[in-house]
């Protein structure tokens, strides 16, 4: 085997192996770009039959790492959505981005599918173990028969959680998100191997830049009309926002100049953001994150064949790349870009944190990340929330909207 781990990676691999030997579970909690995949494959080389579960876009990269290192052990590399195609018994299961199994109070369909295959050792691999709530640890460990937590989530929460209520549009409900970290910290440390960029020798600084643009007056009027009436009527179609969730979504779309009509068709009504990107970043190799599919169409219409969605083409040509944030946030290396630009971003703090670090390498000293915000759009409020380690939720949106008075027609 010609491939050799860096010293910090080998140290991490040895620690993971020791944790698995003692507990049958290890949480490899590593920051982005430190080579968690290389570490886990090194550990896996000591096993006979390994299942590596990841996201679809990461499969080819992991396969390349496996081949390049010259490993010979049996490995099945598959995305979470395709687990139904897998058969066999595995002596090690690796769950990449394991925080995607963190739903509570009930396990997600994805988590249940994973649990069927975990009969022996388990590596949970993530950079954001508990992105939104300490309650998110339960089902990540629940997939293993060796979980220290016996019984269901509700029983666990009675022991480790704090009872609370939340008020929704449907009335009062139990809030299971409150768990004191000190109550679970000792147990978690038994399983965790932490690798930071600092330990790995990274010195990259992420410089965040907020650039604001003025949307067209007509776009602002449409936002105000939607807020006031809950509907925008066109000649052949309508924009309908009869619930708080739909209102939040429609205003979020309009903040970047697109909107999805009631018929299902999405349209572009304002190209201010992409026009600004074209002019401001001229001559730069760009990696651009968008959120809604119509924003992709807007970018392709603006940049034509100078933009690609293929990572290999991006890395080996002078083309820019456009990726949807929800898919590009995890396991994607965009270090070939000069700048990372968000034409829009979602409501999740987890995706926000992971996606903004996609340029980082050990050799790179500085990352320039640009957020293009509209002066009167709700994207400003979303940014404020997610950049402060919070999700932007319906309750937050409603509080924000109380402070906004629509302009008169």
> In the chain, pLDDT over 70 holds for what percent of residues?
93
In a domain, 334, yes or no: yes
Task: Answer yes or no: do 280 and 328 share one domain.
Answer: yes
Task: Answer yes or no: do 229 and 162 share one domain.
Answer: no
Which among 44, 21, 25, 353 is positioned nearest to 189, based on CA atoms? Answer: 25
Task: Answer yes or no: do 50 and 85 share one domain.
Answer: yes
Whether residue 376 contacts residue 218, with contact meaning beta carbons closer than 8 Å, is answered with no
Residues 175-195: tens digit of each pLDDT? 999 998 999 999 999 999 999
Task: Answer yes or no: do 260 and 161 share one domain.
Answer: no
Domain boundary, last residue among 171, 195, 219:
195
Task: Indicate whether 31 pLDDT > 90.
Answer: no
Task: Answer yes or no: do 298 and 169 share one domain.
Answer: no
Task: Answer yes or no: do 36 and 123 share one domain.
Answer: yes
In a domain, 409, yes or no: no
Residues 196-228: tens digit of each pLDDT? 888 888 776 778 999 999 999 999 999 999 999
| C-alpha 303: how far from chain center | 26
Residue 48: CATH number of its domain? 3.40.50.10810
pLDDT for 408: 45
Task: Answer yes or no: do 21 and 159 share one domain.
Answer: yes
pLDDT for 235: 85
- Residue predicted with more confidence, 57 or 9: 9
Structurally, the chain folds into a number of domains equal to 2
The range of the structural domain enclosing residue 64 comes to: 7-195
Domain boundary, last residue among 174, 195, 216:
195
Mean pLDDT of the chain: 90
Whether residue 339 contacts residue 105, with contact meaning beta carbons closer than 8 Å, is answered with no
Cis-peptide, bond into residue 185, ω within 30° of zero: no
Whether residue 373 contacts residue 380, with contact meaning beta carbons closer than 8 Å, is answered with yes
Task: Indicate whether 116 pLDDT > 80.
Answer: yes
For helices 244-254 and 394-401, the axis angle rounded to 10 degrees is 70
Task: Answer yes or no: do 103 and 172 share one domain.
Answer: yes
Task: Answer yes or no: do 163 and 243 share one domain.
Answer: no
Task: Indicate whether 32 pLDDT > 80.
Answer: no
Two structure tokens written together for 330: 């995890």
In a domain, 408, yes or no: no
Instruction: Give the C-alpha separation, 27 to 112, whole Å.
Output: 19
- Residue predicted with more confidence, 81 or 167: 81
pLDDT for 351: 79
Distance (Å) of CA 224 to CA 51, 230, 251, 274, 405:
51, 10, 9, 23, 8
pLDDT band at 409 (very low <50, low <70, confident <90, very high): very low
Residues 355-389: tens digit of each pLDDT? 776 765 556 667 889 999 999 999 999 999 988 87
pLDDT for 202: 77
Task: Indicate whether 126 pLDDT > 80.
Answer: yes
Domain boundary, last residue among 195, 222, 238:
195
Strand 231-233 versus strand 238-240 pairing type: antiparallel
């Amino acid at each position: 085997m010609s491939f050799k781990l860096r010293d910090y990676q080998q140290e991490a691999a040895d620690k993971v192996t020791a944790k698995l030997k003692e507990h049958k579970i290890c949480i490899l909690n590593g920051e982005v770009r430190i080579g968690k995949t290389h570490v886990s494959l090194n550990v896996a080389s000591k096993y006979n039959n390994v299942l590596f579960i990841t996201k679809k876009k990461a499969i080819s990269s992991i396969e390349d790492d496996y081949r390049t290192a010259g490993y010979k052990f049996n490995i099945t590399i598959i995305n979470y959505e395709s687990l139904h195609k897998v058969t066999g018994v595995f002596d090690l299961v690796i769950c990449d981005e394991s925080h995607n199994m963190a739903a509570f109070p009930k396990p997600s369909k994805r988590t249940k599918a994973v649990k069927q295959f975990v009969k022996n050792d388990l590596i949970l691999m993530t950079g954001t173990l508990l992105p939104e709530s300490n309650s998110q640890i339960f089902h990540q460990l629940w997939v293993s028969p060796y979980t220290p937590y016996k019984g269901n989530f509700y029983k666990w929460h009675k022991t480790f959680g704090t009872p609370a209520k939340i008020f929704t549009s449907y009335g009062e409900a139990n809030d299971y998100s409150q768990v004191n970290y000190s109550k679970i910290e000792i147990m978690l440390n038994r399983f965790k191997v932490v690798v930071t960029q600092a330990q790995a020798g990274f010195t990259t600084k992420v410089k965040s830049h907020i650039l604001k643009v003025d949307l067209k007056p007509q776009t602002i009027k449409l936002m105000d009309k939607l807020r006031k009436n809950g509907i925008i009527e066109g000649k052949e179609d309508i924009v309908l926002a009869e619930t708080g969730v739909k209102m939040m979504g429609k205003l979020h779309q309009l903040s970047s100049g697109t909107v999805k009509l009631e018929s299902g068709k999405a349209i572009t009504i304002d190209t201010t953001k992409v026009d600004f990107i074209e002019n401001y970043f001229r001559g730069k190799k760009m990696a651009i994150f968008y959120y809604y599919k119509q924003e992709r169409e807007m970018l392709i219409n603006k940049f034509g064949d100078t933009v690609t969605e293929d990572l290999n083409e991006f890395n080996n040509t002078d083309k820019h790349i456009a990726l949807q944030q929800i898919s590009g946030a995890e396991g994607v290396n965009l270090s070939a870009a000069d700048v990372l630009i968000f034409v829009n971003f979602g409501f999740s703090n987890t995706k926000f944190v992971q996606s903004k670090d996609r340029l980082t390498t050990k050799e790179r000293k500085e990352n320039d990340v640009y957020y293009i915000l509209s002066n009167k759009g709700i994207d400003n409020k979303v940014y404020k929330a997610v950049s402060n380690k919070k999700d932007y939720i319906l309750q937050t949106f409603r509080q924000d909207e109380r402070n906004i008075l629509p302009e008169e027609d």
